[in-house]
Amino acid sequence: MTLRARIHGLLDPGSHGHAARRVRALEVLLILIGISSVSAGTVGGLAPAARAAAATVTGIVAVLFLVEYLARFWAAPENPRFQSATEIRSRLRWVASAEGVIDLLAVIPAVAVASGGARLGAESAAVFVLLWVLKLATHAPGVGLIARVFHNERSALAAAAALFVIVLFSAATIAYWLEGERQAEQFGSIPASLWWAVVTLTTTGYGDVVPQSAPGRVVGGLVMLCGISVLALLAGILATGFAEEVRRREFARIWDLVARVPFFADVGAIAISDIVGRLRSRSYPAGATAIRKGAAGDSMFFIVTGEVEVRIGPRTRALRDGDFFGEMALLDRKPRSADVVTVTPCTVLVLDVADFYQLAGQQPALIAAIEAEAKRRRADDRNVDTS
């Protein structure tokens, strides 16, 4: 792998490797340090030494962002999304993309300072903070998920927003009609009444504008109730949207892992989707005890990557990618028959006991294959016992 491909791998938001994740965390930390140092610089009574230190930190962060921008620019041809006929075209496509533009905006402070166009002081602080908050918004984990949820739920959100606007204008118009003469300054026109309507509908209630007539107060109370309902509706739409999107992503991730376990290769697509919905992934470091002899059997495991050691008395058996373990306690309804310890870092898929029994009813062929292997293992264990 070339150095450029490696750097792209480290900087690509889609990379799931340990190093790439660490780089992403570092980037977010750097942005937070930058925002904090710029914000600290705006505090009035700061000692000159502390102010100078904050300005130095801000300068270092700005320069690091410039280095990161140049690295991304250099590695852009490695990104399949921006691949083009020539390398320079790929780079230009990255520069013109949303992420390229945001990264460019984030280096403006460094360029401005280096060229002498700005001083690292309180006067440029607002620009720095705004640009870096924008960068944080694109790099922070989960922001993509939020954007996706808003996109998925756009029609439901638009319906709630329409309801909000309808109630808002109706409230402002009725308040203008009921209170316009009594409080000409606050309710003298529909646009003027809109401030009261927004403050009441969002249940903020500053109390700076208050209807004085009895009918006006009744309308105020109704608007508050409508406000709570609309907010509850919005919260409900977003909460279900989040839950669905997280479930969808988890399903796709587990599906990917299941595809790497040969044991599931012969199972049809419909059955696989049933199995995928029941599995959870879990990671173990090397040397971890996944199963302890004598413990109650509450789940079985399919190894996606890594190697484990089954310790049956003095003898051991190695299981690796594609193998499964922990099935015997579920089939025999007995305590665990051996210790299972990871030899290398492992990613496994876990099937809980309740799902195991449900699956036994729906996928008899799958469970028969597990049972056949368990039978072979029992015979093997008996040999171990007698030898």
- Binding range to ligand CMP, per CB under 6 A, among 152-160, 166-174, 364-372, 374-382: 374-382
Q: Which of 125, 175, 329, 349 binds ligand CMP (CB under 6 A)?
A: 329
Distance CA 163, CA 150 (A): 17
Q: Give the H or E element holding residue 330.
A: helix 327-332
- We find the least distance from the C-beta atom of residue 326 to ligand CMP, in angstroms, to be 4
Alpha helices in 180-213 (DSSP H): 184-187, 190-201
Q: Does the footprint of ligand CMP cover residue 303 (CB under 6 A)?
A: no
**Sign of the CA dihedral with 78 first, then 82, 85, and 90 last:** negative
End-to-end CA distance of the chain: 50
Q: Does the footprint of ligand CMP cover residue 310 (CB under 6 A)?
A: yes
Q: Which of 157, 261, 338, 370 binds ligand CMP (CB under 6 A)?
A: 338
User: Among 347, 375, 358, which residue's Cα sits nearest to residue 271?
Assistant: 358
- We find the least distance from the C-beta atom of residue 380 to ligand CMP, in angstroms, to be 4
User: Among 164, 176, 238, which residue's Cα sits nearest to residue 201?
Assistant: 164
- Binding range to ligand CMP, per CB under 6 A, among 7-15, 153-161, 332-340, 363-371: 332-340
User: Among 216, 218, 228, which residue's Cα sits nearest to residue 164?
Assistant: 228
Q: Does the footprint of ligand CMP cover residue 99 (CB under 6 A)?
A: no
Residue with tokens 């505090």: 43
Distance CA 135, CA 102 (A): 6
- We find the least distance from the C-beta atom of residue 356 to ligand CMP, in angstroms, to be 11
Comparing CB distances to ligand CMP, the nearer of 156 and 331 is 331
Distance CA 260, CA 265 (A): 8
Residue with tokens 């449900």: 358
Q: Does the footprint of ligand CMP cover residue 299 (CB under 6 A)?
A: no
Count of residues that bind ligand CMP according to CB under 6 A: 18
Q: Does the footprint of ligand CMP cover residue 342 (CB under 6 A)?
A: no
Comparing CB distances to ligand CMP, the nearer of 211 and 297 is 297
Comparing CB distances to ligand CMP, the nearer of 337 and 363 is 337
> By Cβ distance, which residue is nearest to ligand CMP?
329
Distance CA 296, CA 291 (A): 10
Distance CA 174, CA 122 (A): 47
Distance CA 359, CA 263 (A): 15
Q: Does the footprint of ligand CMP cover residue 325 (CB under 6 A)?
A: yes
The tokens for 383 are 């040999």
Q: Does the footprint of ligand CMP cover residue 312 (CB under 6 A)?
A: yes
Comparing CB distances to ligand CMP, the nearer of 86 and 387 is 387
Q: Which of 136, 194, 223, 291 binds ligand CMP (CB under 6 A)?
A: 291
Q: Which of 258, 328, 341, 348 binds ligand CMP (CB under 6 A)?
A: 328
Distance CA 114, CA 117 (A): 8
Q: Does the footprint of ligand CMP cover residue 108 (CB under 6 A)?
A: no
Length of the chain equals 387
Residues between 43 and 72 with contacts to ligand CMP, criterion CB under 6 A: none
Q: Which of 4, 93, 148, 317 binds ligand CMP (CB under 6 A)?
A: 317
Comparing CB distances to ligand CMP, the nearer of 131 and 304 is 304
Site residues (CB under 6 A) for ligand CMP? 291, 297, 310, 312, 317, 319, 325-329, 336-338, 340, 377, 380-381
